[in-house]
Amino acid sequence: MNELSESIAWPSHDARWVSKVLLNGLILLIPVLGQLVVLGWMLTALDNLRAGHPVLPRAGFSYAGRGVNLFVVYLVYGLAISVLFGVLFGAGYRLTLTGGDGATLFGISLIVLGYGLVLLAVLALALLGPVLIVATERGGILGGLNVAAVTRLVTADVEEAFRAGLFGLVASVIGGLGAIACLVGQAFTAPYGYAVLAGVVHCYERQTASRSTTTPVTESRQPGSRRKETAR
């Protein structure tokens, strides 16, 4: 798989993709454990793609340990977003109870700001999904939570990180499509979205690796090499 656009359809190339996705969707209904399993299943699918074996892993509970690191990383970021919202909402709500037009208006502004920042943070987390997964794969939980390291990873190839982030966002949208119909529908679309995300991360890794190896090095000479050449 060489293009990001292929990541959307690659799970369906597996002859048994429907049963694998559906079974993992049923496991996903289990609180906490289901999320651990499906995250580990997604990372195992990524391992298969890295090995040149584009096949979805079979469903099962054995992937829970594989998903722990990524689960903790997303949990910490999610808690940080929740705390930010709680502080702004709580402060705004208290101000609206104190009375007075000015205090009420300021309190409502804080509440609206809280909702706006949460939406932006969730969107940013979805866009950074592929980069966070790569950072966590390389450095574990601390690697995924190292904001400076994640930022360096993004700035190393902003264009590719943004493209991968957009397709990661598409994977999130696919995963949530089932919620429009019913919870059972999301049990099918959510694992498929995770499988798409595995394809996105694989393409991101390939593209960034190929760019880093093909970038010309202009300052690779030894400090005294230029003087030696001019002396000849």
Percent of the chain having pLDDT more than 90? Answer: 59
pLDDT in tens, 60-109: 999 999 999 999 999 999 999 999 999 999 998 888 887 677 788 888 89
Say which range, 32-41, 119-128, 183-192, has the weakest mean pLDDT.
Answer: 183-192
**Alpha-carbon gap, residue 150 to 152, rounded angstroms:** 5
End-to-end CA distance of the chain: 50
Torsion on CA atoms 213, 131, 128, 141, rounded to nearest 10: -160
Torsion on CA atoms 20, 21, 25, 27, rounded to nearest 10: 20
Mean pLDDT score, 9-30 = 91
Whole-number pLDDT of residue 100:
72
- As given in the structure block, the two tokens for residue 89 are 């909402």
Whole-number pLDDT of residue 6:
85
pTM of the model: 0.82
Q: Which residue, 24, 15, 19, is CA-closest to 44?
A: 24
Whole-number pLDDT of residue 34:
92
Residues 136-170 as b or e (16 or more Cβ within 10 Å = b): bbeebbebbbbeebbeebbeebeebbebbbebbbb
